[in-house]
Structure 1
Amino acid sequence: MTASGLLVGVDVGTTRIKALAVDAAGKERARAERPTPWRRENGRTEADPERVAELAAVVAAEAAAASGEPRVLGIGVTGMAETGVLADGADRPLAPAIAWHDPRGDAETIHRELGTDLFQRTTGMRAGPLPSLAKLLWLRREHPETAAAARFYSVGEWVVRRLGGEPVAELSLASRTGLLDLGTARPWPAAAELLGGRVLLPDPIPAGTPAGRAGGAHVPAVLHGAVLTVAGHDDQVAAYGVGAAEDGALFDSLGTAEALVRTVRPPLPPERVGALTAQGVTVGWHVAAGHLCVMAGLPTGLTLGRIATMLGATTAEARAELGRLALAEAGGHPTLRLVNPREEHFGLAGITDDVTPARLWRAAVDGLAEHAAALLGRIDAQVGPCRRVVAAGGWLRDPAVLAAKRRHFPGMRTAGVSEPGAYGAALLAAKAAGVPLRPAADG
């Protein structure tokens, strides 16, 4: 089957909402983006669900219109996990969409009523404020009116619904909510009981499943008639977009956060799931049908950005030069090292009189690469070693970062697309629309 027309991938990310228009030959034709419309106050981060959906429709329409191709065959929507929309029976939002990284969350009830180990072994999520369940419990406690909720949509599911699609739940996103039993791939009754017996998820469907067609008075006309699909969790969709979503593959995404995304063929026994979640590693169903995703996040890009600013390298050109100078350093400094890199803070130890900005940058880059490799080693101990590595992300433009990664992964390939998440969403839109579109080759 051949087709003329566009596949549009939308990526509702933490920083930006992006859209990529791809033709039926797999070539990028146009793109558009807007900042994600967060409201930030007193350490809290949230967004108006209707505004998020509106901007997603705007960027999708802009990318489609800029391509010069009049027909949109399919639209796939990927996005951040955990963030979502609590809606009533008429799909009216009952609360703002709370950011996944927002500290609000009632983890204490999860610990007390379900038990930490049972929750983690069952859901593949750590029992903290991150899973959607913790945020839903907080909302019920602080805003009793949300007890009338009939449905929880992950943000990608919400956008598809607002584009005129069906009210579906997608498996990889449902896996991040704390509402899903990994073993059955169905809503977990014990989690529903904590929410007053309300089952807020339908049985999930795989990424790339058709979920209706775009339409409605509020949807831009250029998108009307396109087959809609929920593409799933953004990091996994990016792995899918660069061809790193098969058993034994590792996708290393180096943005503000570094995501280590392993694709694993099930089963994974509950005790191994528990061992991984105890180390802050999550386990869930993958956008690649019939596979699990084992994933860890690290503050690599955030830490590098802070150090670069401290060193006065505040532009892309200055950071690239810093990377070139660091790469020219012959080996590491004998005492300088990065200490305890976390999202909240990090340390630098062993600073002596001969420490230059280039040497400090080299120590930071190498230390962060070693930290990621050590975490990956702990993952490998539970699921087996990775056999193929593909990397992507803006920090790979730093020659020192790229070299450090290649030292740990000699056979590593770099992705050949600039927006893997949006591109992967376009691929899954092609799947839903029945268009034979192949992933772009890696570099």
Structure 2
Amino acid sequence: MSARELAVGVDIGTTETKALAIDAGGENPTGRRVGFARRPTTWVTHPGGRVETTGEAVFADVLGAVSAAVRSAEADGPVRVTGIGLAGLAESGVVLDPAGRVGSPVIAWFDQRGAEELTELAARDPWFAEAFPGRVGLAMDAQCTLAKLLWMRDTGISPRPGAQWLNIPEYVAHTLGADRVTEPSLAARTGLVDASTGLAWAAALDQVGAPPGFLPPVLPAGHAAGRVSHRDAPAALRGAAITVVGHDHPVAAVGSGATEPNVLFNSAGTADVLLRSVPRRLSTEERAQLVASGYSAGAHVLPGHAALIGSVRAGLVLGRVLDLLGRADLAARRELDRRWRPGTATGSVRVTGAGQTDAEVVIRITDGASPDAVWAAALAHIGSVTSALVHSAERIVGEHRDAVAAGGWVRLSSVRASKSQIIPGLRFAAIDQPGAFGAALFAAWAGAGNPVPFRKFSDRMRPERPTGQADVAQPEEATTW
């Protein structure tokens, strides 16, 4: 019995690491899910709210999930993995010393270490602080890698000549057997890259004391950076092509079929992310305006595209409302969802705080407010914040031409209807785990050694479900090419 050919996609998330194996064999691979596994992502919380892990722990999380997914696929017979794609969280990574050893902790992207150092930097070098948003397309805050490297420098972890930075998916790929590479969408989140050129910004490297060559050579998603050779990798995985796919949000957009130019992708999870693709390089002025409007403006995983990323704290708002109403269980949530009607919200409920920089979410309720009114008010407020964010990007780069949404919250018909009111023509992707699936697609292309067929892919995959479809889990068979 010949071994079936598979591709494996990995989404290294803040909460979980997920590995998805899909059929990638023959002239017409189906993309059907044949194996899946998830593992908690390891973090250690220290006093003062510092959250970190180690490169070794992250690699163990990934290897555990991938091994379990491959074993699941092997239940139906022997398999051979042709390619593995690594996607996931950005901003976090490791400094490798000249000998290739990990010389730093992996600081969580949301950890606030470096905030004080950034304030001191802005006072010391006003030109750099003023130029930063337009040059790199990011707000100068503690989320970007630059802040973490400033903190490391001030605590004695200073990169020496020959040292290099690897973002987490890049580090995992390297540990599996790949060359050290820099993937553009991940590099764009570091604060070290000039978005006009896609290359390291010398002024940023100087601020953290990093040597030339601190960022390895650039290799876009879908290109093989090496082959799996790690001794602990499953036998079926050894020899598979390795590709670093990139930042989880644009990878999920590709996995959901949002690949056309000027498409708006809405990932409706705990963080409600809006990702706008623009098929050109943005100007410095546009990037500065977008950052001021609440977006980042970096590289997409689609060649020649910029990715504008903004977020609304919709998942936080809706989760708190359901807890407040005692409707967190599935049956109660479905009943609340079923009763929702547009215009139900009244003046008896007021919700504030859903933007990505808001410190808190406040729900004010007066006497006589019904659970239906509270839910409707929350949806109306989120819709207002989302609409403002969508239009702020359109004023700078023009209107989007297509819109796709995916994620757990769009399984509620009230959420789908509310989103459709503010984003006309919005389609809903009938796919589970779009980040891991997008990574698996890039892995399949890397394994086949073919150029990434984005336009062909977008024509063949148009996952949708009707706006009125019930709140149900998506079947495995929904994952297709």
Give TM-score scaled by structure 1 length. Answer: 0.94
8 Å CA contact retained: 2:97, 2:159? no
- Please tell me the residue identity of whatever aligns with 1:18: K
Return the alpha-carbon distance in structure 2 between the equivalents of residues 194 and 305 of structure 1. Answer: 40
- Please tell me the residue identity of whatever aligns with 1:209: H
Return the alpha-carbon distance in structure 1 between the equivalents of residues 131 and 318 of structure 2. Answer: 36
Would you identify which runs of 4 or more consecutive aligned residues in structure 1 move more than 6 Å?
none
Matches within 5 A, 1:14-413: 14-24=14-24, 25-42=30-47, 43-68=49-74, 69-105=78-114, 106-111=117-122, 112-113=124-125, 114-142=127-155, 144-148=156-160, 150-199=163-212, 200-325=214-339, 327-328=340-341, 330-342=343-355, 344-349=359-364, 351-413=365-427
For 1:256-302, what per-residue CA distance to the aligned partner results, in whole angstroms no more than 9, with x for missing partners?
10110000011321111101112331011110011110110221102
Return the alpha-carbon distance in structure 2 between the equivalents of residues 185 and 145 of structure 1. Answer: 26
**CA separation of 1:441/1:40 partners in 2, compared to 1, >3 Å: closer, same or farther?**
same
Return the alpha-carbon distance in structure 1 between the equivalents of residues 35 and 108 of structure 2. Answer: 28
**Bigger mean CA deviation after superposition, 190-199 or 46-55:** 190-199
Secondary structure of the residue aligned to 1:169 is coil
Secondary structure of the residue aligned to 1:331 is coil
Shift in Å at residue 317 of structure 1? Answer: 3.0
**Match 1:415 to one of 396, 417, 429:** 429
Return the alpha-carbon distance in structure 2 between the equivalents of residues 44 and 14 of structure 1. Answer: 15
For 1:9-50, what per-residue CA distance to the aligned partner results, in whole angstroms no more than 9, with x for missing partners?
000001100000010221111100001101112311111211
- Please tell me the residue identity of whatever aligns with 2:301: V
Shift in Å at residue 435 of structure 1? Answer: 6.7
Return the alpha-carbon distance in structure 2 between the equivalents of residues 115 and 322 of structure 1. Answer: 50
**Bigger mean CA deviation after superposition, 385-394 or 301-310:** 301-310
8 Å CA contact retained: 1:179, 1:187? yes
Shift in Å at residue 394 of structure 1? Answer: 0.5
8 Å CA contact retained: 1:333, 1:359? yes
The equivalent of 1:434 in structure 2 is: 448
Shift in Å at residue 227 of structure 1? Answer: 0.3
8 Å CA contact retained: 1:246, 1:288? no
**CA separation of 1:406/1:341 partners in 2, compared to 1, >3 Å: closer, same or farther?**
same
Shift in Å at residue 217 of structure 1? Answer: 1.5
Q: Which runs of 5+ in 1 are unaligned?
A: none
Return the alpha-carbon distance in structure 1 between the equivalents of residues 71 and 22 of structure 2. Answer: 12
- Please tell me the residue identity of whatever aligns with 1:189: A
Secondary structure of the residue aligned to 1:152 is strand
**CA separation of 1:52/1:245 partners in 2, compared to 1, >3 Å: closer, same or farther?**
same
Give TM-score scaled by structure 2 length. Answer: 0.87
Secondary structure of the residue aligned to 1:89 is coil
**CA separation of 1:404/1:435 partners in 2, compared to 1, >3 Å: closer, same or farther?**
farther
Secondary structure of the residue aligned to 2:337 is helix
CA RMSD of aligned residues (A): 1.8
Aligned length: 438
Q: Which runs of 5+ in 2 are unaligned?
A: 25-29, 465-481
For 1:241-267, what per-residue CA distance to the aligned partner results, in whole angstroms no more than 9, with x for missing partners?
112133110110011101100000113
**Bigger mean CA deviation after superposition, 303-312 or 381-390:** 303-312
Shift in Å at residue 147 of structure 1? Answer: 3.5
Shift in Å at residue 441 of structure 1? Answer: 2.8
Secondary structure of the residue aligned to 2:332 is helix
Secondary structure of the residue aligned to 1:34 is strand
- Please tell me the residue identity of whatever aligns with 2:176: L
8 Å CA contact retained: 1:46, 1:96? yes
- Please tell me the residue identity of whatever aligns with 2:440: A
- Please tell me the residue identity of whatever aligns with 1:129: A
Return the alpha-carbon distance in structure 1 between the equivalents of residues 228 and 177 of structure 2. Answer: 5
Return the alpha-carbon distance in structure 2 between the equivalents of residues 427 and 329 of structure 1. Answer: 38
The equivalent of 2:472 in structure 1 is: none
Shift in Å at residue 124 of structure 1? Answer: 0.4
Return the alpha-carbon distance in structure 2 between the equivalents of residues 275 and 158 of structure 1. Answer: 33
- Please tell me the residue identity of whatever aligns with 2:198: A
- Please tell me the residue identity of whatever aligns with 1:93: V
Shift in Å at residue 379 of structure 1? Answer: 0.7
For 1:115-136, what per-residue CA distance to the aligned partner results, in whole angstroms no more than 9, with x for missing partners?
3220111100101111101111
Return the alpha-carbon distance in structure 2 between the equivalents of residues 249 and 155 of structure 1. Answer: 27
